[in-house]
Amino acid sequence: MKKTITLSFSLLAATSLAQQYSLTDLGTLGGYTVTAGGINASGQIVGNSEVTSNHVAHGFVWSNGVMTDLGTFGGTKSVGHDINASGQIAGTANTANNADYRACRWSGSEMQDLGALDVGASQGLGINDSGQVVGLSYIASSYSHAFLWSNAGMQDLKTLGGLNSYAVRINSSGQVVGTSQTSTNSEHAVYWLNGVIHDLGTPNEGQGSHAADINDAGQIVGSSLRPILWENGSMQDLGTLGGTGGWAYGINNSGLIVGSSYLLGDGLLRAFMWSGGVMRDLNSFLDSSRADWTVYEATDINDNGWICANARDSNRVQHAVLLRPVPEPSSVIVITLGLATKPFRRKLRRRRLEGSIAD
């Protein structure tokens, strides 16, 4: 999903933070609440939208101004979580009569049930440009393991010794990130490489951590009460917008990071972009046409700097939105020093997402 670009990181970061962003409302499938999940290099966005007023939601893909219903396996609900450069989508959908929910991959009009590690439910959460899908699958209906699905089948990625794990994203090299319980039931951010699990650790003993995204250089973002970047064996606290907590959800191949942070007082959430040691409130860069909207959560960013996010309008109605830099980065001439950049959600809202499918 992410391609390497060679240019000055510091100058690109300054350009990205200095410009305005236009806000495009993605619309709905007929209901009110819409949530954005992931964006690919072409600006296609996936998520889920209510289709009726009784909170029934379907996964969608939005492309060039058109939102398309992804459908289900015959049940009531579905959700799209991630999309690759070819437009393949990883997500989850109810089976017939809502008997279960299964990880799935949409390829054009084809919807493929990816199965499960056991007889239980599964969720597809991430996909790379090779079409490999990661997620979680329930075992014995009581706990879940992270999985990696390829054309060869579904592989159990195991845990750090605890009962549960889940995988959320996979990069072009097949590196997988997610979260696992340890033998003491702590939750730690992890990555898997060639099927082997690695503990990313936590800033403080006894404090959980969760990985949310990885880029093609292996830079990983997530959270441990506050937004975190893991890079080259080190762990960096990215700070907040003044509050005590926040979450990093997405990172592109230029190292631009997006997420959500509390403001001072911890009463309000705002979407942020972090670059070069600086975290900025994205609402400060919206053009004047959307001044009465509040973007509270940025969930993903592509290599063009386009951001998919969730916002509320002046009536507090939730919308999925696309934020695009104005002018586009490609139209800005930047003199570089010939330096090459290094091409790594809130804790996965697993229970909420499961609820949106299983209820």
DSSP 160-185: BEEEEEEEEEE-TT--EEEEEEETTS
The residue among 114, 196, 179 whose CA lies nearest residue 149 is 114
> In this structure, what token pair is assigned to residue 95?
């089976």
Residue 92 · residue 359 · CB < 8 Å? no
Q: Which residues of the chain have pLDDT under 70?
A: 1-18, 141, 329-359
- What is the C-alpha separation between 295 and 286, in angstroms, rounded? 9
Whole-Å CA distances, 48 to 177, 258, 271:
23, 20, 19
Q: What is the pLDDT of residue 357?
A: 54
252 Cβ neighbours under 8 A, 6+ residues apart: 2, 215, 301, 302, 303, 305
pLDDT per residue as tens digits for the range 65-117: 999 999 999 999 999 999 999 999 999 999 998 889 999 999 998 999 999 99
54 three-class SS:
coil
Residue 199: phi and psi, rounded to 5, are -85, 125
Residue with tokens 């806000």: 23
- Report which residue type is found at 315: N
Q: The sheet that has 20-25: what strands, in order across it?
A: 20-25, 318-326, 307-312, 294-301
| DSSP state, residue 284 | G
Does the domain spanning 9-358 belong to CATH 2.40.280.10? no
Q: How many CB atoms lie within 10 A of CB 315?
A: 6
- Per the omega criterion (within 30 degrees of 0), is the bond before 227 cis? no
316 Cβ neighbours under 8 A, 6+ residues apart: none
Q: What is the pLDDT of residue 318?
A: 94
Residue with tokens 């995204």: 213
Cβ-based burial of 344 (10 A; exposed 0-12, middle 13-18, buried ≥19): buried
- What is the C-alpha separation between 302 and 300, in angstroms, rounded? 7
Beta strands 210-214 and 318-326 are: unpaired
> In this structure, what token pair is assigned to residue 162?
């605890």
Q: How many CB atoms lie within 10 A of CB 347?
A: 19
How many helices and strands (H and E) does the chain possess?
Answer: 2, 28
| DSSP state, residue 341 | P
> In this structure, what token pair is assigned to residue 155?
């592989």
Q: End-to-end CA distance of the chain, in Å?
A: 32
Residue 98 · residue 112 · CB < 8 Å? no
Report the run of H or E that residue 263 belongs to, with start and end.
strand 257-263
> In this structure, what token pair is assigned to residue 52?
């009726």
Q: What is the pLDDT of residue 119?
A: 77
Q: What is the pLDDT of residue 329?
A: 62
